[in-house]
Structure 1
Amino acid sequence: MTKSYLRIILVTSLVSLSACAQQTEVRQMKSEVGSLNKEMTQLTDQTVKLTQQNALNAKSTTGVYLLPGSKTPARLNSKLGNLQMSLSSLTPEANGSRVMLIIKGESNDPLPAFTGKVEWGQIQGTTDNYQEVNVQSQQISAPASVLAPSDVSIPLLLSGLSPTQPGFVRIHDIQPVDPAQALPTQ
């Protein structure tokens, strides 16, 4: 009777261990599926923002649009040559957002000191028929670069625009401080 009793205990223990292992695997799978869903949602949101950003830039006659969340640079043909513009480090602030505007020169020459204008606000409607709402602006300036290719970071405080709002940032009128350093635009 002790042998059969031991067998019963052994079989019961194995069944219990199997059930625990399966529950652990199920919890792990649920966690992995939840993580994948979150990543897919983020990628979908980023793709939508990038599509909107590209559509806005295709229609833009002045400057370049950047949409927070697209995480993709846009190219601006300026009086300094071709520049890549992007946004990074978007963080909420009490009355809006703080973001870093990164401007990269595409030539092998350092960028001269320059100024420009940044506008931001919200977009209402569709990318085919949209309106810029609650637009604010500020002048920016950057010192001359000594390294090439140049990479300039300009902190911006976007008052009135929270990171969760469907907003835009548009950069235009990039001009060298010394007009003699301007390149002909194409």
Structure 2
Amino acid sequence: MTKSYLRIILVTSLVSLSACAQQTEVRQMKSEVGSLNKEMTQLTDQTVKLTQQNALNAKSTTGVYLLPGSKTPARLNSQIGNLQMSLSSITQEANGSRVMLIIKGESNDPLPAFTGKVEWGQIQGTTDNYQEVNVQSQQFDAPASVLAPSDISIPLQLSGLSPNQPGFVRIHDIQPVDPSQALPAQ
């Protein structure tokens, strides 16, 4: 009788343990599904921003548009050569955002010292028919780079534009400090 009693306890314990294991697996599966849903939402948002950025740049005749959240560089043909520009390290500040403008030269030559203009604001409407509102601007200076290919980081303070607002950043008027270093127009 003791052996049958032990068998019953053993079988009951195994059934209980297997039920616990299934609950743990279900919880783990729910957690993984939640993580995947979050990643899909982030990828969808990034895809929308990238599509908008590409549409704005296709129509732009001056400068290059960068949309916070697109996480993709845009190409600008400037007086100092072709440049890849992107935004990173976007953080909330008391009256707006702080971002890092990353500028990479595409040539094998170091970039000369240059100046440029950054404008930012909000976009209302669609990418086919839009208006820029609450536009602000500032000049920036970049030092000459020593290494090639060049990679320059410029911190920007974008007042009035929080990281979660549908806004834009446009970079234009890139000019060498020394006019003799300007490349011929293409």
- Take 2:104 and 2:110, find their aligned partners in 1: how far apart are those partners? 10
The alignment covers a number of residue pairs equal to 186
Deviation, structure 1 residue 146: 1.1
Partners of 1:163 and 1:19 lie apart in 2 by: 46
Question: 1:4 offset after TM fit, Å?
Answer: 2.0
CA RMSD across the alignment: 0.7
Q: Is the 8 A contact 1:114 1:176 kept in 2?
A: yes
| 1:125-171 deviation per Cα after TM superposition (whole angstroms, max 9, x unaligned) | 11001110100000000111111111110000110000000000000
TM-score, scaled relative to structure 1? 0.98
Alpha-carbon separation, structure 2, partners of 1:26 and 1:185: 63
Conserved 8 A contact 1:117-1:173: yes
Question: Percent identity among equivalent residues?
Answer: 94
The list of structure 1 runs, each at least 4 consecutive aligned residues, that deviate by more than 3 angstroms after superposition, is none
What residue ranges of structure 1 are gaps of 5+ in the alignment? none
Which structure 2 residue ranges, 5 or more long, are not aligned? none
Measured in 2, the distance between the counterparts of 1:5 and 1:172 equals 84
Query: 1:5: Cα distance to partner?
Result: 1.5
Aligned residues of 1:77 and 1:185 also touching (Cα < 8 A): no
Once the two structures are TM-superposed, the CA of residue 6 in structure 1 deviates from its matched residue by: 1.3
Offset of residue 3 of structure 1: 2.1
Superposed CA deviations along residues 10-66 of structure 1, whole A, max 9, x for unmatched, are 111011000000001001111111111111111110000000000000000000000
Secondary structure at the aligned position of 2:35 is classed as helix
TM-score computed with the length of structure 2 as normaliser? 0.98
Asked whether the equivalents of residues 81 and 185 of structure 1 are also in contact (C-alpha less than 8 Å), the reply is no
